[in-house]
Amino acid sequence: MTTSFLGSKELRARFSVIRRVLPFAVFGAVLVYQAISVFFLRESSAVIHYLADLIAYGIIGPLAAWLAFDWITQQIEERERALAAKARAEAEQQRAEEAAREQERLLAAVCANSADAIIGLDNQGHITAWNRGAEMMFGYAGEDVLGKHFKMIVPPEIEARGEMEWLSEQMREAGFVRNYETERIAKDGRRVIVDLTRTAVQNARGEIVGSSAILRDITERVRTEHAIQQLNLELETKVAERTSQLGAATEELRRRNSELERANQELQQLDELKSDFVSMVSHELRAPLTNINGSIELLLDGDSGCMQPEHREMLQIVSEQSQRLTRLVQGILNVSRIEAGQLVLQPQAFNMLSLIERVIGVWESRGVSNRFERPRGMNLPSVWADRDRTEEILFNLIDNGIKYSPDAATIRVDAEANGQQVIVSVSDKGIGIPDEELPKIFDKFHRVDRRDASESYGHGLGLYICRRLVEAQGGRIWVDSVLGEGSTFRFSLPMAGRGEAERTGSGRRQTVGGRR
């Protein structure tokens, strides 16, 4: 303590000095006063003597006594204050020590009950402290391990690897080892993966007297991490496998694609070659066929009974077959022209009713057994289309109606205005078309598969050509049919005076083109 403290011994010493000095001081003072009276106040009056006595005994004497007692009182008070301060300081120190002890108790309790294993070791590695966490982690009670070397919980292969020496070296160099992952062995042989923190412990003089080891059980965490790593690895392998499979598949696809493109190009070239060939052959066939047909007609017309009936019959068969061949050649020529974009349309305004009348007239003049029903309405707006091609469409539809109906069946042809269009229909009471065939009926070379197909001659080109011609003129063609009851084919064409084509100039030529 640094406060001025007056011990009782010191106080006693001071008081004993005063006890001895005070009588001599009083005696000395009286002696000095008497000497002064004898030598200096001998001649003075009684008043002076009286005053001098009064000053000496009445003032200086009591003042000296008062000073002496005041000094003693001060000394005693100072001592009392010092004693009280000492008592307060001692109480303070006692409280601080008590708090420190409580703190230590708490810390000890925390360490003792920590879930982490906290182990105290001396400089030789012997266990000096073993908390509850260590008991639970390794299965040894404190009394089983205290004083024993900590290598009892180190697995042999880790000890052989020199871990203990490495730890000691680290402790010497740095004074601690932090978050070191290693393995320890429990009493039942179970391996515990731990996170180890070891710190040197010093005594009050700063000498290293041992170390503390805190071990946290991270077995579960490490196992989970390993499992996740394993899963990641498997996943990566799978992704790599799939990626390479995908790459191979893409490569294969690319190869197939280029093969297909090549094949497609070859097919297109072949197709073009075929079209050129077909067109060339058809041209070459058309001229001789026209000559043959003309000659046969001349022969038949010029016969005035001199020809044998069987010869005439044979000539008629030749004529029919030749006409079929001509129709086929014409059809093939039309298709190749359409697909080559060479079929030219010459749209114009014309009356559909008179065209219908004309086509029916042609059929009637051919002497077919069928009866024809004509359109009932008398007024119909003109259509804007190629007249010859429209005649061809109509001719084809009536031809089919006749072909696919019983002999002498009625064919009804009608026409009506609908919005901006004129719709022409050709109905028969013939064999009809199965539902599943309807979507394909306008495809090129499509013929309905029938047992009796051989009976009706055809090539599956007529409806395809009709569709291409109708669509090229801004119209549409469709069919309603009931198997065994008959069919109605309808096509629409734009009315004259409404269409875009017409506004751009009468008779403007346009081509039908492309493969579809």
3 state DSSP class of 129 = strand
Task: Compute the least distance from the CB of residue 486 to ligand ADP, in Å.
Answer: 7
Which C-beta is closer to ligand ADP: that of 400 or that of 473?
A: 400
List, in sequence order, every residue forming a beta bridge with 197; answer none if it has no partner. 214
Q: Which of 447, 474, 501, 513 binds ligand ADP (CB under 6 A)?
A: 447
State the helix-helix crossing angle for 387-403 and 352-365, rounded to 10 degrees. Answer: 50
Judged by CB, which is closer to ligand ADP: 384, or 442?
442
Helix (H), strand (E), coil (C) string for 340-372: CCCEEECEEEECHHHHHHHHHHHHHHCCCCCEE
117 binds ligand ADP (CB under 6 A): no
CB of 453 to ligand ADP, least distance (A): 7
Contact between 430 and ligand ADP by CB under 6 A: the answer reads yes
Q: Is 392 a binder of ligand ADP (CB under 6 A)?
A: no
Question: Looking at beta carbons only, is 131 or 282 nearer to ligand ADP?
Answer: 282
Considering the complex, what minimum distance in angstroms separates the CB of residue 431 from ligand ADP?
5
Is the CB of 143 or the CB of 449 nearer to ligand ADP? Answer: 449
The residue from 448, 469, 496, 512 that contacts ligand ADP (CB under 6 A) is 448
Which part of the chain contacts ligand ADP (CB under 6 A), choosing from 78-86, 148-156, 160-168, 459-467? 459-467
The residue among 345 and 461 lying less far from ligand ADP, judged by its C-beta, is 461
Residue showing tokens 């989970």:
224
Report the residue from 411, 461, 469, 496 that binds ligand ADP according to the rule CB under 6 A.
Answer: 461
Q: Does 336 bind ligand ADP (CB under 6 A)?
A: no
Tokens for 299? 């022969």
Helix axis angle, 46-53 relative to 8-40, nearest 10°?
180
Query: Residue 469, interface with ligand ADP (CB under 6 A)?
Result: no
Paired residues of 384 in beta bridges: 349
Residue number, 322 or 487, with CB nearest to ligand ADP? 487
Q: Which of 215, 360, 394, 433 binds ligand ADP (CB under 6 A)?
A: 433
For 454, counting Cβ atoms within 10 Å of its Cβ (0-12 exposed, 13-18 middle, 19+ buried), the class is exposed
Helix, strand, coil: what percent of the chain each, to 5? 60, 20, 25
Does residue 404 belong to the site contacting ligand ADP (CB under 6 A)? yes
Q: How many CB atoms lie within 10 A of CB 306?
A: 7
For ligand ADP, give the closer residue by CB, 33 or 363: 363
Q: Provide the 3-class DSSP secondary structure of residue 515.
A: coil
Give yes or no for residue 462 binding ligand ADP (CB under 6 A).
yes
Q: Is 475 exposed, middle or buried (0-12, 13-18, 19+ CB in 10 A)?
A: buried
459 backbone dihedrals φ, ψ, rounded to 5°: -130, 5
**Site membership for ligand ADP, residue 458 (CB under 6 A):** yes
* 463 near ligand ADP, rule: CB under 6 A: yes
Q: Does 428 bind ligand ADP (CB under 6 A)?
A: yes
**How far is residue 383's CA from residue 351's CA, in Å, rounded to a whole number?**
6
Residue number with CB closer to ligand ADP (400 or 421): 400
Residue 129 binding ligand ADP, by CB under 6 A: no
347-350 and 383-386 as β-strands: parallel, antiparallel, unpaired? antiparallel
Say if CB 412 and CB 427 are below 8 A apart: yes
Q: Residue 401, interface with ligand ADP (CB under 6 A)?
A: yes
Candidate list 119, 383, 398, 441; residue touching ligand ADP; CB under 6 A: 441
458 in Cβ contact with 448 (< 8 Å)? no
* Interface region with ligand ADP, contact rule CB under 6 A, candidates 137-145, 203-211, 375-383, 460-468: 460-468
3-state secondary structure (DSSP) of residue 401: helix
444 binds ligand ADP (CB under 6 A): no
Task: Please state, in angstroms and rounded to a whole number, the distance separating the CA atoms of residues 347 and 349.
Answer: 7
Q: Is 187 in the site for ligand ADP (CB under 6 A)?
A: no
81 binding ligand ADP? (CB under 6 A): no
Would you say 5 or 395 has its CB closer to ligand ADP?
Answer: 395
Closest CB to ligand ADP among 375 and 430? 430
459: contact with ligand ADP by CB under 6 A: yes
> Counting contacts by CB under 6 A, is residue 491 touching ligand ADP?
no
**Is 487 an interacting residue with respect to ligand ADP (CB under 6 A)?**
yes
Check binding of 338 to ligand ADP (CB under 6 A): no
Angle at 430 between CA 426 and CA 435, to 5 degrees: 85
Cα 388 from Cα 507, distance rounded (Å): 13
Work out whether 400 is an interface residue with ligand ADP (CB under 6 A): yes
Dist CA 344 CA 341 (whole Å): 8
Instruction: Check binding of 133 to ligand ADP (CB under 6 A).
Output: no
Q: Are strands 410-418 and 371-373 parallel, antiparallel or unpaired?
A: parallel
Q: How many CB atoms lie within 10 A of CB 385?
A: 30
Question: CB of residue 349 vs ligand ADP: minimum separation in angstroms?
Answer: 28
User: Nearest 5°: phi and psi at 211?
Assistant: -150, 160
Give yes or no for residue 431 binding ligand ADP (CB under 6 A). Answer: yes
195: enclosing H helix or E strand:
strand 191-202
Contact residues for ligand ADP (CB under 6 A)?
Answer: 400-401, 404, 428, 430-433, 441, 446-448, 458-464, 487
